Amino acid sequence: MKLKLIGLLMGSMFAAPTFATQLEGGTWFCERPDTPENMRENTSYTFLPDGTIHSEEWLRQSENNQVQLEFKLAVDYSFYHNGIDYVLKPVQLTRDLVVDKNNVNPFDSDARRDLLGYRIFFQPQFESDNRAEFVMRHHITPDQRFTLNCLRQT
């Protein structure tokens, strides 16, 4: 049992640099396939040579052809492999609330604190050099995975 566990850990450690190499080199533009019809959102991830990631998320929710909520969120992450998953840890964020007609206030002080404290675990699944699915989960809800369909932008 102990040897099997060591083999699994060693195998995942060797796989990590391969995925890291595939992720490098540009920006990945991602969309969720399960986004509701009244919502538009996308996220881009730029994997930088220093081991950090810069992301930019845009979301717009409409109702009766009127925008109810729109925001932009930029997050810089530290990026590492924990032996099983890649881990993104927020280190800096900026936000821009464009429209908030229903006073949802997605960036109140509690949400901001929680945003800086969370971790995202993800496992990239490559279809080609320029196409991948990022299977992701937050540390708060580890059993609830979501998928982003991503294309590398050159």
Q: What is the pLDDT of residues 35-80, one digit of tens each?
A: 999 999 999 999 888 888 999 999 999 999 999 999 999 999 998 8
User: Pick from 47, 46, 45: which is nearest to 30 by CA?
Assistant: 45
> Quick one: DSSP state of residue 107?
T
CA separation for the pair 111, 41 (Å, rounded): 19
Q: Is the pLDDT at 21 greater than 70, yes or no? A: no
> Which residues 6+ apart lie within 8 Å of 84 measured at CB?
12
User: Pick from 5, 81, 88: which is nearest to 43 by CA?
Assistant: 88
Calculate the average pLDDT of the chain: 80
pLDDT score of 12: 35
pLDDT per residue over 87-109, tens digit each? 999 998 888 999 999 888 877 76
As given in the structure block, the two tokens for residue 100 are 């908030």
As given in the structure block, the two tokens for residue 89 are 């840890």
Instruction: Return the CATH class of domain 2-153.
Output: mainly beta
